[in-house]
Structures are given as C-alpha cells and as structure tokens.
Chain A
Amino acid sequence: NAGVTQTPKFQVLKTGQSMTLQCAQDMNHEYMSWYRQDPGMGLRLIHYSVGAGITDQGEVPNGYNVSRSTTEDFPLRLLSAAPSQTSVYFCASSYKGQGFNSPLHFGNGTRLTVT
C-alpha cells in the first residue's frame, strides 16, 4: 500500500521559474491538502480539497495554484517561484470529516530551494 506519494523529493528552481509538485494517494480519500513546513513555523496549510472539482485556500495560498480533477491526484503549482517559497512541502489526505478514525496521512515531502 503506497499511501501518499510525492514527487520529486528534491527540487532547485531559479527565481521566476514555474513547476508542479505532484501528489497522489491510493486510499480513496476525499480530502487532500498541501502544507509547507518552515523552521519555527510548524506546518501551514496552503490549499485543500474536499473532493474532485472542489478546492479552497488555506492560510498561505499566495503564489500557489491547485486543481483536483481526480480523487487520487492533487498537484500544487508554483506560478513564478520566489526565494520565500523555499520550504519543505507536504501533501496529506484523509477521509472526509475529522474524527478519531480519520487522521491526516502525509507524504514524505518535497524539499524545494529557490535561488
């Protein structure tokens, strides 16, 4: 069982470049989300989706786009990379609702450096 798979593991971009971080889950989870982790800041929610065709903004959405065309995939697009987007990005999924039996499952992260 693969769980949540993120690609690539590492990426270096130059300022102004664009790229897409891939996320796929094989657990048939309705809910998917993207977080970024920065030193001293914990994990902050970027965008989330409660099902195919539905997305919404989290705490820090600026500079990022998402779409959800299938239940399995939730790519995160950086439109024009900036050094402030240097971070570790985590994708997570869960069943809809937040109960004792539906905690978030995280991928292993993508470490992005923007120079």
Chain B
Amino acid sequence: DQQVKQNSPSLSVQEGRISILNCDYTNSMFDYFLWYKKYPAEGPTFLISISSIKDKNEDGRFTVFLNKSAKHLSLHIVPSQPGDSAVYFCAVAGGTSYGKLTFGQGTILTVHP
C-alpha cells in the first residue's frame, strides 16, 4: 500500500497562473516533507522542504503548505513559467532516517506559454 500518493498524474496551466500540486501521506510519524523537480534525462533536483513544526515554507515563487491533520502537502508555484514544466515528486521522511525518503508517483506539470 502506497504511503505517499500524488493523485494527479498530470497538470496543465497557463503561463503566469498558479500551479498547485498535491500530495497525501498516510503515516503521521512522517515529520519532514520535500518536493523534487525532474526534467527528462536528468536526476531529480531538490526544490523546497518543510518540517512538521511548520505549516508553510516559501522560497521565491515556490510555497509548500503542510496540513498535518489532513496528512496533506501541496506545492504552489506563482507565477508559473514554461521552464517549470517538469515532473514533480513529493517525498516524506520520518525522524533520523538519513535520507530514506518515500516518494510519490509524480505529477507531470506542463506550463503553456
């Protein structure tokens, strides 16, 4: 049974609009949450993270929201740009897990000019 789910395989948005990517997890022991971005033929690259003691973390155009009671994580990209078109993976970890991340299935984001 998957502990981390990204229920939208793909998302299409217009340049300049907001992109919202969602992620649900099942284990309340997870306490560290990350988003990775992946371009074709490249490895994933770290985008933004949040710990369970916060409910929001912002870095430029990217904001991650954490709703612990709902076990839900979201990534907002505002404004979206064509260069943001990529696969986005959410990942979760618990305690001192030394990078034993559990990843979601990924969401393909396409930003149209």
Q: CB distance A90 to B98 under 8 Å?
A: no
Q: Chain A residues near B103 (CB, 8 Å)? A: 35, 42-44
Q: What number of residue pairs across chains A and B have CB atoms under 8 A from each other?
A: 69
Q: Chain A residues near B44 (CB, 8 Å)? A: 43, 90, 104, 106
Q: Chain B residues near A98 (CB, 8 Å)? A: 32, 93, 96-99, 101
Q: Chain B residues near A107 (CB, 8 Å)? A: 43
Q: CB distance A108 to B46 under 8 Å?
A: no
Q: Chain A residues near B105 (CB, 8 Å)? A: 40-42
Is A94 close to B, CB under 8 A?
yes
Tell me the complex Cα distance, A7–B101, Å. 23
Q: Chain A residues near B100 (CB, 8 Å)? A: 33, 45, 48, 58
- Write the nearest CB–CB distance from B68 to chain A, whole angstroms: 18
